[in-house]
């Protein structure tokens, strides 16, 4: 595909927080804020590179960059005459330690713009083995002693003009030390070392990597899952997320080739779940395209590639219209293909948060409408007269989650309250009654349980007048 090269003067914008102060979501194409439920999504039209530069400029100690493609057409003016390569070199000149992993089969011509003392490592396998280093993430100050410093920049964006400005991409930025350390572990495994220079004899890519086991995080009260390919069997987590849909489901995909994923989506559609999707025309030659076209009909749209743009997203939105379910966003570098699941180096985030789900829905709706589609508003469970739902939800923790068998629940009561806690399976049947309308005193309460077989469940909490749900995953013991 061609990459449009142009000299563009970008307008710098301030960086606003979404869904809390530590997690931000951006889109480089239009959004439809008429369907915003709490926060309006923000599109960085012609200025996503500005935002990247602003974050690179924040680095005090280290930048660990893991990027599929960085081309020298980014050598154009962005903010105050600084481009991406300038920002990297400026960081190096102020003493920031920089390590860079790239896909060796790509041109990555932008690397020639970097200070020659910056250490880089190209993936050793490349296309001959149908394996690519397809990640797109940056870890800023990952090992800082201040837990407020580490930041992860990720999403599906490569670094060149077409990707920044015309292709459809999303960006997720998370400030969290534990998550940053999980990304660092993956980076170091590919780098082969924790130091500034790569160790070629110890570095591992693709099918040679191992699962480091750091998958579940709680950030601002939100459960966030992280998986790397191919070691973590990411497609199984994609399927588990699809299976949780109770009201509505939306997908936006550049490459969609996995029939099992498509089959689960169509099963949800046949079960009465509202389903809608967008694929790039790159996927037209694969069987999911035919299945979606014949079954979803007007609920499915194809973005036709041009010489200057493509639909490069890889995301899933589950139940943005149903706050009593588990509104979720799945996104990252991972296309829904067998290669991404079994060969490529990829990263995937699964974010359990109703605001995040609505922000991505605003983005999805704008694109779907621009392709001639019409979405029917869906209404799931809504919380009526529950003004403090978020503060109550943040006092409840299920751990570990996912669990292999036994799990625990911890919840706090500020005052004496009537409490009911039940567990439901995926078809809405109550399978366990943990607490039934008990009047409990203020303080921290604990429940341990090991009665569930493997599967996906919802734990329904009714505390006083407040009701909300949390997803629970029980893994099969192997």
Residue 42, pLDDT score: 94
Q: Which of 389, 403, 386 is nearest to 449 (CA)?
A: 403
**Cα–Cα distance for residue pair 27/165, rounded to 1 Å:** 10
Structure confidence at residue 80 as a pLDDT band (50, 70, 90)? low
Query: What would the pLDDT profile of 115-133 be if each residue is shown by its tens digit?
Result: 999 999 999 865 556 689 9
* pLDDT above 50 for 10: no
pLDDT given at position 88: 97
- Residue 30: predicted pLDDT: 97
For residue 383, the model assigns a pLDDT of 39
Q: What is the pLDDT at residue 394?
A: 45
pTM: 0.79
**Interatomic CA distance for residues 159 and 335, integer angstroms:** 18
Using CA atoms, how far residue 306 sits from 29, 31, 45, 158, 367, in Å, is 16, 21, 18, 18, 16
At 61 the pLDDT is 98
- Give the pLDDT band of residue 15 (cuts 50, 70, 90): very low
Where does the chain hold its CATH 3.30.870.10 domain(s)? 1-382
- Whole-number pLDDT of residue 173: 98
Residue 384 CA, chain-centre distance (Å), reads 30
Residues near 367 by Cβ (< 8 Å), separated by ≥ 6? 29, 30, 168, 252, 278, 303, 311
pLDDT value of residue 130: 67
**Could you tell me which of 52, 217, 33 has the C-alpha nearest to residue 136?**
52
Give the architecture (CATH level 2) of 1-382: 2-Layer Sandwich (3.30)
The C-alpha torsion from 142 through 148 and 154 to 157, rounded to 10°, is -100
Instruction: Please list the residue range(s) of the chain that carry CATH number 2.60.40.1930.
Output: 395-474
**Tokens of residue 365, six digits:** 């709706």
Q: Residue written as tokens 């600084």?
A: 82
How far, in Å, CA of 439 to CA of 387, rounded?
21
**Domain 395-474 is of which CATH architecture?**
Sandwich (2.60)
- Residues 51, 30: Cα–Cα separation, whole Å: 16
Residue pLDDT, tens place only, 232-267: 999 999 999 999 999 999 999 999 999 999 999 999
Does 388 have pLDDT greater than 80?
no
Average pLDDT over residues 399-408: 80
Tokens 């509505």 map to which residue? 248
Number of DSSP helices (H) and strands (E) in the chain, helices first: 10, 22
Rounded CA gap, 382 and 247, in Å?
A: 12
Residue 14 has a pLDDT of 32
Share of the chain above pLDDT 90, in %: 70
Torsion-angle region of 95 (φ positive above 0: left; ψ -120 to 50: alpha; else: beta): left
The pair phi, psi for residue 379, each rounded to 5°, is: -125, 115
């Amino acid at each position: 595909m061609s990459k449009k090269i142009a000299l563009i003067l970008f307008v710098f914008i301030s960086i606003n927080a979404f869904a809390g102060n530590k997690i931000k979501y951006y889109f480089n194409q239009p959004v439809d804020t008429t369907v915003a439920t709490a926060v309006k999504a923000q599109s960085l039209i012609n200025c996503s590179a500005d935002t990247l530069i602003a974050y690179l400029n924040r680095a005090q100690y280290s930048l660990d960059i893991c990027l599929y493609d960085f081309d020298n057409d980014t050598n154009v003016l962005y903010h105050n005459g600084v481009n991406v390569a300038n920002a990297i070199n400026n960081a190096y000149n102020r003493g920031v330690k920089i390590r860079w992993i790239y896909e060796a089969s790509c041109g990555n011509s932008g690397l020639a713009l970097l200070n020659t003392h910056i250490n880089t490592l190209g993936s050793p396998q490349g296309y001959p083995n149908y394996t690519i280093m397809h990640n797109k993430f940056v870890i800023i100050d990952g090992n800082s002693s201040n837990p407020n410093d580490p930041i992860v920049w990720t999403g599906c964006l490569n670094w060149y003009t077409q990707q920044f400005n015309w292709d459809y991409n999303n960006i997720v930025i998370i400030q969290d030390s534990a998550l940053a350390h999980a990304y660092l572990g993956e980076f170091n495994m590919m780098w082969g070392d924790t130091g500034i220079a790569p160790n070629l004899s110890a570095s591992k890519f693709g099918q040679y990597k191992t699962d480091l086991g750091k998958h579940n995080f709680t950030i601002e009260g939100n459960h966030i899952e992280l998986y790397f390919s191919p070691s973590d069997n990411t497609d199984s987590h994609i399927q588990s997320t699809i299976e949780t849909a109770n009201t509505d489901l939306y997908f936006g995909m550049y490459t969609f080739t996995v029939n099992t994923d498509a089959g689960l989506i169509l099963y949800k559609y046949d079960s009465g779940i509202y389903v809608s999707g967008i694929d790039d025309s790159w996927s037209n030659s694969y069987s999911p395209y035919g299945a979606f076209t014949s079954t979803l009909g007007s609920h499915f749209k194809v973005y036709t590639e041009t010489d200057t743009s493509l639909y490069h997203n890889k995301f899933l939105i589950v139940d943005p219209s149903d706050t009593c379910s588990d509104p979720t966003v799945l996104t990252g570098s991972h296309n829904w293909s067998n290669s991404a699941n079994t060969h490529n180096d990829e990263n995937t985030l699964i974010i359990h948060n109703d605001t995040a789900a609505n922000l991505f829905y605003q983005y999805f709706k704008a694109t779907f409408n621009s392709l001639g589609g019409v979405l029917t508003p869906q209404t799931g469970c809504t919380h009526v007269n529950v003004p403090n739902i978020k503060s109550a939800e943040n006092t409840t923790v299920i751990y570990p989650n996912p669990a292999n068998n036994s799990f625990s629940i911890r919840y706090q009561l500020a005052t004496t309250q009537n409490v009911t806690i039940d567990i439901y399976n995926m078809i809405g049947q109550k399978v366990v009654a943990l607490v039934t309308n008990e009047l409990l005193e203020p303080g921290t309460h604990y429940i341990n349980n090991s009665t569930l077989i493997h599967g996906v469940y919802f734990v329904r909490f009714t505390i006083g007048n407040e009701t909300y749900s949390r997803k629970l995953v029980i893994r099969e013991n192997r």
